[in-house]
Amino acid sequence: MTPREIVLQQIRHHETDPVPYTLAFEPSVAVRLDEHFGSNAWRKRITPYMAQCGAISSIWQAPPDPEHRQDVFGTLWRTDNVPPTVVRPGLSRPELEGYAFPILEDILSPEAVSQVTERVRKTGNSFTIVATGLCLWQSWYIRGFEETMMDCAAEEGFYTELLDRLTDLCLGLIEACRDIPADAIMMGDDWGVQRGVMIGPERWRTFYKPRYTRIFDAIHAQGKVAIMHCCGSVAEIMDDIVDTGLDVLESVQPEAAGMSPYALKKGWGDNITFWGCLGSQSTIPFGTSDELRDEIRRLRREMGKGGGYVLAPAKPLRTETPIENAVAVVEEFLDA
């Protein structure tokens, strides 16, 4: 089977040998690995099971100065910070009347659509993924983070209307992917924090579940797989996530509350594919190389049983990764 076919088999919940993987690094880690192995030849041994071919939209406008950027929602960002921070939200009050909400043409880039399409066509035997470049939790880009958290609790009517408008934009972007011959469309919403669902399970069910069900239905109508990047703990809403029709949940940080990969596999592994699960806050930076090797083997063995798994670090290997652990990851991923 080709790498693409192996990934598709896993998503269809058929066991494969090998178990597919993805492997990403921060640049400094890759350089240290080149030094350790004596060349960059190891990079060519990474099997390209999945190819992320880019986003078809952008929310960013021309920077007003070197330290700032403005987005299409009118929000001004300080970009010389890591991560960027909101200086002035585009919408100062929970009221859409009189606000110039962007339309699809403001964010959809025909040039990006052409470039992404070309990348997909040139990718060969990998499972190909395109991104919308927009998601619903980016509502906080419009109002600011703290204000959005308060809107969820105190301005339900306003927040509902705001999410409906963002949903329409997302659906428009998905429609723009119709003629791109990719296997999947990926979005990214950080529903969880370390201890649980950011806005709480009940509000997530009210605001997000019905809208993402529509979005994933639109992706499936094109014959494509729906993938969601999500950090943090979403254990409390896993039944709901499955109900939305999501095919693949990516990141799966095992350190977050309730996010043991093995418990997730036992509870929902027949109905959704997990992509990630190797601890970037624990095992990779702080475990011994032997502990890391053992965990990778266990993930491959237990999570891959019956299909529904793509092996990956929850985050790209970070700068603080000890070289012996980075070597262990590379050798275990590439030599299995």
Q: What is the DSSP string of 114-150?
A: HHHHHHHHH--SSEEEEE-S--GGGHHHHH-HHHHHH
pLDDT in tens, 196-213: 999 999 999 999 999 999
The Cα 321–Cα 111 span in angstroms is: 37
User: What does R_g of the chain's alpha carbons equal in angstroms?
Assistant: 20
State mean pLDDT over 213-224. 98
Better-scored residue on pLDDT, 66 or 275 = 275
Residues 6+ apart with CB under 8 A from 24: 312, 313, 316, 317
- At 56-80, the pLDDT tens digits run 999 999 888 889 999 999 999 998 8
Q: What is the dihedral of CA 226, 227, 230, 234, to 10 degrees?
A: 60
Percent of the chain with pLDDT strictly greater than 70: 100
Residue 336: per-residue pLDDT: 77
Mean pLDDT value across residues 90-110: 96
Work out the pLDDT band at 102, boundaries 50, 70, 90: very high
- Token couple for 189: 């919403």
Task: State mean pLDDT over 105-112.
Answer: 96
pLDDT for 83 beyond 90: no
Give the pLDDT mean for 27-47: 97
Residue 288 has pLDDT above 90, yes or no: yes
How far is residue 111's CA from residue 113's CA, in Å, rounded to a whole number? 5
Average pLDDT rounded to a whole number, residues 88-105: 96
Check whether 111 has a pLDDT greater than 80: yes
User: What average pLDDT does range 289-311 have in this prediction?
Assistant: 98
- How far is 201 from 67, CA to CA, in rounded Å? 37
> How high is the pLDDT of residue 53?
98
- The pLDDT-based confidence of 263 (bands split at 50, 70, 90) is very high
Reply yes or no on whether the pLDDT at 282 is more than 90.
yes
Q: 81-108 b/e with 16+ CB inside 10 Å = b? A: eeeeebbebbbeebeeeeeebbebeebb
| Residues in CB range of 171: below 8 A, 6 or more apart | 214, 215, 218
The pLDDT assigned to 64 comes to 85
- pTM assigned to the model: 0.97
Interacting residues of 223 by C-beta distance below 8 A, sequence separation 6+: none
Which of 265, 220, 278, 207 has the alpha carbon at shortest distance from 238?
Answer: 265
How many helices (H) does the chain have, and how many strands (E)?
14, 10
Mean pLDDT of the chain: 96
CA geometry: angle at 52 spanning 46 and 57, to 5°? 160
Domains delineated in the chain: 3-56+104-134+153-335 (3.20.20.210)
pLDDT band at residue 295 under the 50/70/90 scheme: very high
Q: State pLDDT tens for residues 141-172.
A: 999 999 999 999 999 999 999 999 999 999 99
In total, the chain counts a number of residues equal to 336
| Cβ 250 vs Cβ 280: under 8 Å | no
- pLDDT reported for residue 210: 98
Amino acid at 118: E
